[in-house]
Structures are given as C-alpha cells and as structure tokens.
C-alpha cells in the first residue's frame, strides 16, 4: 500500500509541474504533461551533471510543482473564463485512470526483456545506487552514452518508492501514453468519447504492432509515441499560442533525441518536416490550388526515386570496396603487413578502414542484408506473439488506404493527398536509413538476418497509425458519422483478432509462468541471491555457462539477468568469454578462436576474480578444466573459490551448489 501511495505522490508532483506550465505559458493540461515529463528529465540530468547528485534536481522539481500549484490557484481566481484553465483535463483524467490501472496489473512484475537487463533497467538501477548519470566506465551497458532520457524519467518515480521493477513498467508505460494522448490535449468534454475510443484501439493495437506491446522499458515505443504525438498535436493545436507552441515543439523534439540517439533524431527530423510542410500546405491553404497539388505529387515521386537511387548508389559503392595489402615500416625499422581499402582507385583514410573492419562492410553483406530486409519488411510480421500477421509494408499500405477514407468521410480529398504523400516519403526514407544502418553500423551476424528490424519497423508503423487515428477522430463536424463508426469498428475488430492467450502474460504481471524465459530468469536471479550471501563486497565472480547448441537462442535469459543483478561484481558476458569450446570461446554472440579455456587463469588474474561460477557444465568443461586447474573433485555446476599462489590462480575449491 505504501508503494501505491508513493507512486500517487509522484504523479501528484508531476501534476504540480503541469500546473506550473499552465500558469506561466498558458499550456493546457495535456501539453503541460509533455512539458512536465521533459522538465523532469532535464532537471535531473542537469543536477547530476553539475552537482554530481540527483538530490538537488528532486528538490527543484518539488519546488516547481509547489510554485505551479500556487500559480494555478492564482490564475484560477483571476481568470473570468475558468473553464479555459482546465482545457485538456480529459487527457490528464485518462492518464490518471490508466496510471491506477497499471499500478494494479503490473503489481509484482519483474524485468523480463533482454536489453532491459543490460541497458534500460540497468541504467535506472545504476542511477538509483550511484546517484549519478550512467555515463562512466563502471556502467555495465557501456560508458559514453547519453540517450537515457526515458531512464531518468523512470528514476524520478524510483526516488519515491525505492527500487521497484514493477514501477519501472508503470512509469515507462506512462511516458509512452503521454505521447500517445498529446494530439487530443485540446479536446473538450464533448470529445471524451473519441479520446477513449482512441485509447482502446491503441491499447489493443500495440500488441500487434510492437513485439513487447505496452509493457516494456525499451525506448522504441516512447520515441514513436512522442513523435506521433507531436505531429498529431500540431494539427489540433491552438494556433494563437505561438510561443507556447514553439516551446512544446522544441521540448518534444529535443527529448526525442535524448530518448534514443539515432532513431530519436530521425523521428525528430520527420516531425519537423511534417510541421513545416503541414503549415505551408494545409494551414496556408495552398493545397487547394490544383497546380500545387500536382507539384506535390510530382515532388513525392521524385523524392521516392531519389531515395531509391541514393540507397542503390551506396550499395554499389560498398560493392566497389577493395582490400589492399600494404607493407608498413614501424619506427624501429620492422616491416609488417596491413590491410587498407580503396574505392574506385582512391585509398580510404585509416578511420574509415577501422570502421569497415569493425563492422565487416562489404558487397556481400550489403546484398545479404538487402535480401533479409525486403523479406522482413514485406512478409514477416511485426510481432510473433499476436494472431495478426501484419508486416510493415502491408501496414503502410493500410494506413494510406485509411487516409483516403478520411478524405472521403470529411470531404478533404486534397488534404488526404498531402498526408498520403508525406507518409509514403517518410516510410521510404525511414526504411532506407534503417537498411543503411544495418549495413554500416551493425556487425555482420546482426546485419545479414536483420532480426531486430521488426522493432524498428514498429516505431514507424505506430507513428503512421497515430497520424491516421488523429485524422479519423478529428474534432471537425462530420455528417457521415455512421460510416466512421463502421471504419473504427473494422480497425478495432482487426486488432482484436490479434489478441490471444499470450496477451495476459505479455501485457500484465499475471500468468508469469507463461512469460518467455521466465524459468531461466528466475533461476539466474535465485542463484545470484545465494551467491551474494556467500561472498564479500570486494569479491568478483567469473561466470561460465556451457549452454548447448540447441538452447543457444535462450542463453541471454540467463546471461543478462546474471549481469544485471550482480553488476560489476560478475564478468560481463559481452566483453569476456562465458562459454568455452574446443575451437575457442564465445564473447557475446561472437565466436573467438584466439581465446581458449587454457587462457582462463590469465582472465582470472587480469580481472582480479576470486570466485568462478559454473552455471552449467558439459563434457568438454568436465574433461578440460581439471587440466587447467588443480581440482579435488569432478567438475560440477556451482560456486568455486579461486586458489592463488604467487598471485596466479592454480586451483578451484568447490564452495557450494546453487
């Protein structure tokens, strides 16, 4: 009960910041919620950067909330039109009801998705423990990153409740819905039905549009939701509040970038292009000129063609990459061979060479990635958990069709032409950038099968769908209301078809046994707790997991929780060998032949490890480990203490089974 009270207190203070923007710049309640979330991220990040602690940031947020409450009351007393003060209450009321709903359905939930363990949840946990941003080398997700805006927002709630995995999901879902509901922030009481129809359809649709639905700490959905929210809000905004509108737009776009560095920046660019083109074409009514509409269609065709030609040109250039063997003489006069690259006879600089070697960039990779990319975009569904087999390209076509229906229903055929052109160019540009990112910024193994493409496609799909739903649920008068009801029922029925028995375990904390990887995660967490009771704070544990080939796909449901719950006290499987084979070892996903089990003593020495944890053994480890170390008994899974002599590990002493 205390946990719920503290979460409600956090929401109340969040509302105080909303009141601050309502009083100072006349932002409505829905707009104020977006500004409030951005402010919390900014104030906490600045507090950590400048003062080395989040404490002052939390005080600052509480101070802003207090000022906001006082300012709101003063404005309420002075204003003649008190109704204006509560514009957007339908959004705030909806968010509060949803917030209470999430507190119930996520009760006793646990972190369960791979990247959450070593990235997003790990960042929140790090900030809560160390009271600073996770930008240093002691963060398990890697230092030097700055795209943690969403994690900072989650931290705000953790400061009230203490460490709570269930509340991370509550806060993350709230962050997503702040963006999802932004387009309706100017809607009044009479439009409440439209808002709840929108919420109902989106809540069900996300299960079929995104692999993790609404319950996730991944930043794909908040990024897409805020981008779609800004675009939809721009169509429904109050054009008279120019300064307020500029602040909201800038705050939202900057936050997008700091939510997710690359995708967020790309979505911010798409939002900016939408704002500029919508203002120029629709608001200034240029779209009604036949010659302008014709030019728009021609420009769209040209842009699509240029995107295709540009992407093909990059692929052709990659195909022209040729390795060149060079003999280099070092300062001491020794000669050694090195590989450089050239394109069309021109040698590339060393920085480009290192980049090419790191990501194995070549023509074969580009072709294989293109094949997988097209297959996934056209034929593979966005999520395997839903009954609805909906791939990205067919969904884009569906959005274009719904936009045409919008034009017929509202008698806005010229406007619908603009929206179709924008969606077509944006989808193609997004796909081109995503494809080139796989080729140029992903390792060979991750690129050629583009397994993660569905997640990225989902971001664009949700963005487009938000635009479509905002158009269909417009505040404008509509004579053919019955036709719109049928369209909305059809959309709802389509996404309802996607709901199945996997919906409950993946969208709530109920039926946990059915969550993918539940047994592995629970087992890893349980063993970590046992180990932490047996070792000291200064001890370090080397982790070995001899997973079989048939279970290799499930490895990260053990590796990731182990790293998350033990943090820097355990070897990082992404940078250290965690499985040993006759041909070498696994570091992350990569098979390395230059490190073998014979190197384990060196690994233990360099890392200062005092224990070895064998999570699972196999015949190879059982046979070879006694050849490396003195062992009194046969190899068993469990915890071993490292025996050092002359600062070198010489044996392993069995401590306990786990």
pLDDT at 144: 61
Where is the domain boundary, 507, 526, 543?
507
Q: Are residues 118 and 139 in the same domain?
A: yes
> Do 479 and 582 reside in the same domain of the chain?
no
Residue 339 lies in a domain: no
Between strands 611-616 and 541-545, the pairing is parallel
Q: Which of 486, 507, 528 is the last residue of a domain?
A: 507
Could you tell me if 496 and 578 lie in one domain?
A: no
Would you say 218 and 117 are in contact if contact means Cβ atoms under 8 Å apart? Answer: no
- Domain closes at, from 449, 474, 507: 507
Contact 433, 456 (CB under 8 A): no
> What is residue 511's predicted lDDT score, i.e. its pLDDT?
86
Residue 346 confidence (pLDDT): 81
pTM, two decimals, is: 0.94
pLDDT digits (tens, 9 = 90+) for 174-228: 999 999 999 999 998 888 999 999 999 999 999 999 999 999 999 999 999 999 9
Q: For 407-444, what is each residue's pLDDT tens digit?
A: 999 999 999 999 999 999 999 999 999 999 999 988 88
pLDDT tens profile 54-86: 999 999 999 999 999 999 898 888 876 667 777
Token duo for residue 287: 């779209």
- Does residue 172 lie in a domain region? yes
Q: What is the mean pLDDT of the chain?
A: 92
Burial class (CB in 10 A: 0-12, 13-18, 19+), 34: buried
The DSSP code sequence of 450-512 is -TTHHHHHHHHHHHHHHHHHHHHT-SS--S-HHHHHHHHHHHHHHHHTT--TTHHHHHSSSSG
Average pLDDT over residues 264-288: 95
Q: Give the model confidence (pLDDT) of 26-62 as tens digits.
A: 999 999 999 999 999 999 999 999 999 999 999 999 9
Enclosing domain of residue 36: 2-187+219-283
pLDDT of the residue at 69: 94
pLDDT mean over 261-280: 94
pLDDT tens-digit series, residues 446-457: 888 888 899 999
Task: Specify if 332 maps to a domain.
Answer: no
User: Is residue 160 located within the same domain as residue 25?
Assistant: yes
Of all helices (H) and strands (E), which one includes residue 644?
Answer: strand 638-645
Under 8 Å between Cβ of 593 and 624 = no
Q: Is residue 211 part of a domain?
A: no
Are residues 144 and 39 part of one domain? Answer: yes
* 237 and 383 part of one domain: no
List beta partners, residue 541: 570, 611
**For residue 470, is it within any domain?**
yes
Same domain, 438 and 500: yes
Q: How many domains does the chain have?
A: 3
Residues 483 and 543 in one domain: no
CB 218 within 8 A of CB 509: no
Is residue 57 a contact partner of residue 159, using CB atoms and an 8 Å limit?
Answer: no
Sequence-separated (6 or more) residues with CB below 8 Å from residue 345: none
Q: Measured in whole angstroms, how far is the alpha carbon of residue 58 from the centre of its chain?
A: 25
Asked whether residue 6 falls in the same domain as residue 148, the answer is yes
First to last CA, the chain: 34
Rounded to the nearest 10 degrees, the angle between the axes of helix 192-209 and helix 481-496 is: 30
292 part of a folded domain: yes
Same domain membership, residue 236 and residue 294: no
Among residues of the chain, what percentage have pLDDT more than 70? 97
Q: Please, which residues bridge with residue 545 across strands? A: 616
Per the domain annotation, does 213 fall within a domain? Answer: no
The answer on 572 and 483 residing in a single domain is no
Verify that 461 and 530 share a domain, yes or no.
no
pLDDT at 358: 80
Of residues 228, 222, 199, the one with CA closest to residue 37: 222
In a domain, residue 201? The reply is: no
């Amino acid at each position: 009960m205390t946990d719920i009270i503290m979460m409600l207190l956090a929401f109340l203070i969040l509302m105080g910041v909303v009141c601050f923007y309502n009083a100072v710049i006349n932002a409505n309640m829905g707009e104020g919620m977006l500004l409030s979330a951005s402010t919390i991220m900014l104030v906490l990040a600045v507090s950590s950067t400048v003062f080395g602690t989040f404490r002052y940031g939390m005080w600052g947020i509480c101070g802003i909330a207090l000022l906001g409450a006082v300012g709101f009351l003063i404005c309420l007393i002075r204003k003649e039109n008190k109704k204006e003060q509560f514009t957007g209450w339908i959004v705030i009321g909806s968010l509060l009801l949803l917030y209470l709903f999430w507190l119930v359905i996520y009760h006793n939930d646990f972190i369960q998705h791979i990247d959450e363990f070593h990235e997003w949840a790990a960042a929140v946990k790090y900030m809560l423990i160390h009271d600073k941003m996770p930008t240093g080398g002691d963060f398990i997700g890697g230092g030097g990153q700055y795209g943690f805006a969403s994690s900072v927002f989650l931290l705000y709630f953790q400061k009230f409740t203490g460490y709570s995995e269930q509340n991370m999901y509550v806060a993350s879902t709230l962050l997503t819905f702040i963006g999802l509901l932004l387009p309706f922030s100017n809607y009044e009481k009479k439009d409440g039905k439209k808002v709840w129809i929108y919420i109902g359809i989106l809540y069900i649709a996300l299960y079929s549009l995104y692999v993790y639905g609404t319950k996730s700490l991944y930043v794909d959905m908040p990024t897409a939701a805020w981008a779609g929210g800004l675009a939809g809000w721009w169509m429904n905004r109050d054009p008279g509040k120019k300064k307020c509108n500029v602040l909201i737009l800038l705050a939202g776009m900057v936050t997008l970038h700091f939510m997710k560095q690359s995708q967020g920046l790309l979505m911010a660019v798409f939002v900016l292009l939408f704002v500029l083109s919508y203002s120029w074409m629709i608001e200034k009514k240029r779209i009604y000129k036949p010659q302008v509409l014709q030019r728009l269609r021609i420009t769209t065709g040209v842009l699509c063609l240029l995107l295709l030609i540009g992407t093909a040109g990059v692929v052709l250039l990659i195909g022209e990459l040729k390795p060149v063997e060079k003999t280099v003489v070092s300062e001491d006069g020794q000669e050694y061979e090195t590989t450089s690259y050239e394109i069309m006879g021109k040698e590339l600089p060393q920085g480009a060479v290192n980049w090419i070697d790191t990501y194995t960039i070549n023509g074969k990779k580009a072709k294989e990635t293109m094949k997988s990319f097209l297959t996934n975009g056209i034929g593979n569904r966005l999520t395997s958990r839903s009954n609805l087999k909906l791939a990205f390209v067919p969904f884009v076509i569906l959005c274009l069709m719904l936009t045409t229906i919008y034009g017929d229903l509202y008698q806005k055929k010229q406007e619908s032409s603009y929206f179709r052109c924008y969606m077509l160019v944006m989808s193609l540009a997004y796909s081109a950038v995503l494809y080139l990112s796989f080729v140029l910024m992903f390792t060979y193994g991750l690129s050629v099968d583009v397994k993660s493409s569905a997640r990225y496609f989902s971001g664009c799909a949700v963005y487009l769908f938000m635009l479509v739903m905002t158009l269909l649920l417009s505040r404008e008068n509509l004579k053919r209301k019955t036709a719109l009801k049928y369209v909305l029922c059809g959309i709802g029925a389509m996404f309802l078809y996607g709901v199945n028995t996997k919906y409950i375990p993946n969208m709530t904390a109920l039926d946990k046994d059915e969550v993918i990887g539940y047994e592995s995660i629970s087992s890893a967490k349980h063993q970590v707790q046992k180990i932490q009771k047996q070792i000291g704070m200064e001890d370090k544990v080397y982790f070995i997991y001899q997973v079989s080939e048939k279970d290799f796909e499930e490895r990260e449901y053990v590796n990731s929780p182990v790293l998350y719950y033990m943090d820097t006290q355990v070897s990082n499987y992404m940078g250290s060998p965690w499985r040993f084979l006759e041909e070498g070892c696994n570091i992350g996903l990569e098979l390395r032949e230059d490190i073998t089990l014979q190197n384990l003593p060196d690994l233990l020495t360099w890392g200062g490890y005092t224990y070895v944890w064998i999570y699972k053994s196999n015949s190879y480890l059982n046979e070879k480990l006694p050849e490396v170390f003195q062992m009194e008994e046969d190899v068993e899974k469990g915890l071993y203490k490292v025996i050092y002599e002359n600062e070198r590990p010489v044996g392993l002493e069995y401590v306990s089974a786990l």
